[in-house]
A and B are shown apart, each in its own frame.
Chain A
Amino acid sequence: MSNPVTATNGAQFAGIATVADAGLQGMITLRGDLSSSVLQAAVKAATGAAVPAQRKIEISDNGAAAWMSPDELLLLVPYEQAVAKTAELAEALKGEHALAANVSDARSFLSIAGEGARETLAKIAPVDLSAEAFKPGDFRRSRTAQVAAAFWLQKDGSFRVVCFRSVGAYMFNLLSASAHPQSAVGVYTA
């Protein structure tokens, strides 16, 4: 019975980049031994993606696996399937020391697209976001202004940003301020 809603409920802002609520996204926190073949198979089955290398995200047609730490992945699956996939993972990893938790509703998920995407993010995160340093498939956990966040770069040059749901509105307002239409720095182009 449900009509689930995101914390930012479809919000959008257009400036030097377009900042938007990226909608409901199934997310599963998976902790375990990333070198285990059982875990790797379970990740593949759940997401279609391989276990990513350090600070990378592996994206498949209907899911993704992102590197959060040496013993933690963030798995992306369709929102409606998150509960079932979490249970499947738990089942598949029964003999392993691992923890799979559905965190789809604990997160806000936003996108930054357009020419000013790199600059928008570079105003709030202490990360080298130049084209040489940050490439599609790169995944980073860091600080965005005053909150923790994770972000990655898609092939199309847009970023996806994940933060806690409670600060979703803050993040949207923060990114919108960073993307002010007259605030292009002029050092990074898409």
Chain B
Amino acid sequence: MSTRLAKQGRLIDRSKQIDFTFNGKRMQGYAGDSLASALLANDQMMMGRSFKYHRPRGVVAAGSEEPNALMQLGSGDRYEPNQRATTTELFSGLTAKSQNHWPSLEFDVLSINNKLSRFLTAGFYYKMFIHPRPLWKHVYEPIIRKSAGLGEAPDNELKDPDTYEHFYFFADVVVIGGGVAGLQAAKAAAESGAKVLVLEENKHWGGRASVDGGTIDGEEPEVWIEKTLDALRGMNNVTLRDRCMASGVYDHGYVLGYERLTDHAPGQGGPRHRLWRIRTKQIVTATGAIERPLSFAGNDVPGVMLAAAMRDYVVNWGVTPGQKVVVATNNDDAYRTALALHEAGVEVVRVVDARETGGGALMEAVREKGIRVELGRAIAKVKDGPRVTKVAICAQNGEGGAQEEVEADAVAMSGGWSPVVHLWSHCGGKLNWDKEHAFFRPDPARPPLGDNGTGFVIATGAANGNLGLGAVLEDAAAAGSQAAEAAGFPAKAVASAKGVSEAETAMEAVWLMPAKADIKLRMKSWLDYQNDVKVSDVQLAAREGYESVEHTKRYTTLGMATDQGKLSNINGLAILADSLNSEIPQVGTTTFRPPYHPISMGAIGGEARGEIFQPVRKTPIYDWNDANGADWEPVGQWRRPFAYTRSGESRHDAVNREVKNTRENLGLLDASTLGKLIVKGPDAGKFLDMMYTNMMSTLKIGKCRYGLMCSENGFLSDDGVVARIDEDTWLCHTTTGGAESIHAHMEEWLQTEWWDWKVYVANVTEQYAQVAVVGPKARKVLEKLNAQAGGGMDLGKDALPFMEWRDGQIGGFDARAYRISFSGELSYEIAVAASEGQAFWDALMEAGKEFNVMPYGTETLHILRAEKGFIMIGDETDGTVIPQDLNLQWALSKKKEDYLGKRAHLRSHMADPDRWKLVGLETTDGSVLPDGAYARGNGVNANGQQNVIGRVTSTYYSATLGRGIAMGLVKHGPKRMGEVIEFPGTDGTIYKAKIVDPVFYDKEGEKQNV
């Protein structure tokens, strides 16, 4: 059984007991425990079931590389699946549930998959489910969704109550990893004067050194760690962050740090996670190394664990995973575990060393304790079950015969160490194969390159392939100085601390235990616990032709998902290389991708949630609109009222009321969102002649002109009314969505093509609140306001004629009035200072009462313009429509030699007489055509699809006319007036519509010109 030891546990505080629950069972741990160590202390070795075969699984590691112990944490709105028990700090009230089983961890129905495992080999899903197709959706997918996967998805009705944030930080040197190498490197870099940030994923600094022993500068590592931390804390150019994992390294020195602020104390307030968005000149990766499992049959039975992890549990948390332990190794380091266990009073049944000649001083130390060490031996298999009970031992150099069986309840395995090269590799750092240590190590000659073309990542310590304290510290001091120098600080040789640890003899690569294990054993030898990939799967993939390591990865799922090759990588590559009769460096490694360890979606989203999920642009009249029935419609980031609904009124009724009232009385439109650009300078006229298809330079001061803009491709991009303000100043109105883009478009041409032209553009869109005062009584209400104020600008027919503008006062407000109309009615668009917009609107609403004033929304705006046959950018245009399609030839200047789009209109496809052209459409029964419907033509096209001859671009119910009206683009449309064409609807109805003139109302334009 696994239990808490009487002594030991450098990280726990035995005076602080903590209650938590696991699968509903109440358990106790201590402050400083991880969830994994606390579970082990409660004899809870089995922590989950595997992904594919639902095999019982226990904890294998003690850090973020843990593949098995994935938990569902919390409940309700703080529930989260797939959290590692090893990286979860224990807190009072923590609730954890194991996952991937039903109905319970101990009894799981789908563990039948384990019995079927010889059918569920690599590629099984690909082969099995590809035919017949219909079965996929209704049979296979639901079954797979139920059986595969990890934790349950959170309830989609619940909202995460926590908040998250980002933080931008700039450094000269970022040191990733707060072990002794990281601290030494940070110190060296900081002493050169560089601004240093050190990121440590755990709460505790110092990494493995305190567990692994040795001395630094003649003292226990712990002493040096504390001293160094104190020194670093005293330097104002150093920032230390714990619980902050570097999750990825990206181009040009960009690093993401994932800081877990309240995971260990949920609900304490403040953000839960903070994503550090760091830009640095140099990065030192001091990310240590990860121990590799050994591939023997039953290496996934709960109780089989990495040797160093077992040592961590004993030394750091005072728990032992078993009472009788077998240690299996191919290197000297695992002997430290045997010693730690022995010292804690745990029986070490055997040390099984695959090497014929065994180890050095550490092995001798173990033998001196009376522990039996067997050389050239291997674990043949661990007996299947929910817990280690028996271990069979055989010769390493054999097929697994002649076994000796021993009783044990835990196995510590060590297949050697792999430097954590992930962060080195994320941005392209290359690796070399180190045959002596059987691992990939960073190649300092091929680092990731920064914006200046030189390397910006330096790997150090164990992450750089150094084993042994002395080498680690020396390498780290050099790395720190080198990083500071590369970041532009004067070179300074910094003396390294002196590390001394036990000398070790060479390890020996062992990729399979025993070396010639038969197929039955190989089918129980796991390479990747998290994805349930076995030795036999990789061999099968190789046999089936998946020779590229990237293909094998995808075929078998080896090293995918959150494992990212942490535990599985090298062992898998070695098996693949062996199957291909190749060498590991030739086979190569898969790509390491960020994040190193999963990070929360909340951290990625940061502050962007709720009210500030995205910016909502508000006009000065927004609050009034909101309080007066506005049914909001998003227009870009703006919110505009679609209609103002009254109590008990439907949207449709509201729109009809607004349309009729505007035609008969008086309507007000909040038009503040329309873009307003000032274009000024001696060359402004010439410039606008290039921007617009029609002539703007000839516009007279005080007058307005409707203009069209095309892209260089000839397609319509924007339209609006242009006003000439003075000799060298124009004011251009754009569409609501066009203000920023047309401003940018103008600047682009001015800065990059005609940079010698003297023109300045300023975007003054938001300076004004603009109100369209529309309807037969529009003049009356404005004149009433002026009368009330004792004077104001003359708004009479002759003083301010149609398509002109004036500056002056209206109702006491400084205003600019444009006599323009997008409705066909008598209409003024009045611009006042945005800060006075609400007051002006209020004055209009008050004065307008006697004229039956009503505000109207965007739908009414659309209907009014459609009744008049006015086009709308984004309805009649979609980026493929040219002015000629919309019968707007009149707006294409023939006098101008050039304007944007002119050359494009000469291209053969643009001049094609078969292009669809704008017409009006009237259904034969008065109904409303479906938006976007296509008109049916004769026959089928080359793909056997129904030919089409047109489509609906705008369609509305016109309350004015009491029937549906529409506009559309129809092949040869203007020549087919009176013809009835058919529009099949998605509901199966065939709509019949007659082609008519697109101007449905007041064809002579008498109403606007009064």
Contact = CB atoms under 8 A, between A and B. Distances in A.
A–B interface present (Cβ within 8 A): yes
Given A1-B813, A105-B766, A183-B270, A124 B760 contact: no
B168 A173 contact: no
A181 B611 CA distance: 18
B940 interface: no
A45 interface: no
A106 B163 CA distance: 31
B932 interface: no
B614 A166 contact: no
Most buried by A among B680, B766, B789, B811: B766
A106 B835 CA distance: 8
A39 B767 CA distance: 24
Interface in B976-991: none
Contacts of B944: none
A13 interface: no
Contacts of A37: none
Interface string B595-619: 0000000000011100110111111
Nearest to A171: B615
Most buried by A among B614, B615, B681, B758: B615
Contact of B608 (A3, A71, A146): A146
Contacts of A166: 617-619, 638, 766
A119 to B, nearest CB: 7
Interface stretch (A4-12, A48-56, A150-158): A4-12
Contacts of A103: 762, 764, 766-767
A125 B168 contact: yes
Interface string A161-190: 000111111100110011011110101000
A40 interface: no
B274 interface: yes
B758 A97 contact: yes
Interface in A78-112: 83, 97-99, 101-107
B835 A123 contact: no
Given A1-B812, A83-B814, A126 B168 contact: yes
Contact of A170 (B270, B615, B620, B680): B615
Contacts of B152: none
Given A4-B833, A123-B607, A165-B766, A145 B813 contact: no
B165 A127 contact: no
Tell me the interface secondary structure of chain A in the complex.
loop
A2 B620 contact: no
A41 interface: no
B681 A106 contact: no
B169 A122 contact: yes
Contact of B760 (A97, A125, A127, A167): A97
Given A182-B269, A183-B270, A145 B165 contact: no
Contacts of B169: 122, 187
A34 B274 CA distance: 42
Nearest to B729: A99
Nearest to B269: A182
Contacts of A29: 762
Nearest to B613: A146
B836 interface: yes
B232 to A, nearest CB: 14
B166 interface: yes
A98 B615 contact: no
Nearest to A182: B270
A150 to B, nearest CB: 14
B91 interface: no
Nearest to B166: A123
Given A166-B618, A177-B607, A31 B166 contact: no
Contacts of B491: none
A175 B904 CA distance: 47
Contacts of B269: 181-182
A174 B612 contact: yes
B789 A146 contact: no
Size category, A interface: 35 or more
A87 to B, nearest CB: 12
A5 B838 contact: yes
A147 interface: yes
Interface in B825-843: 833-836, 838-839
Interface string B356-392: 0000000000000000000000000000000000000
A31 B615 contact: no
A45 B170 CA distance: 39
Contacts of A119: 167
A180 B678 contact: no
A130 interface: yes
Interface string B264-275: 000011110010
Contact of B170 (A133, A174, A182): A133
A71 B750 CA distance: 13
B680 A99 contact: yes
A123 B170 contact: no
B835 A122 contact: no
B978 to A, nearest CB: 47
Contact of A167 (B617, B678, B681): B617
Nearest to B681: A97
Contacts of B789: 1
Contacts of B766: 103, 105-107, 164-166
Given A2-B833, A2-B839, A130-B170, 12 more contacts: A4-B836, A24-B835, A99-B681, A101-B767, A104-B767, A104-B833, A105-B835, A106-B764, A123-B167, A145-B612, A166-B766, A174-B607
Q: Which 7 A-B pairs have the closest CB atoms?
A: A182-B270, A1-B812, A4-B835, A166-B617, A106-B766, A105-B834, A99-B760
9 contacts: A2-B813, A32-B760, A99-B762, A105-B767, A105-B836, A124-B166, A132-B195, A170-B612, A180-B270
Interface of B: 163, 165-170, 195, 239, 268-271, 274, 277, 279, 606-608, 611-612, 614-620, 638, 678, 680-682, 758, 760, 762, 764-768, 789, 811-814, 833-836, 838-839
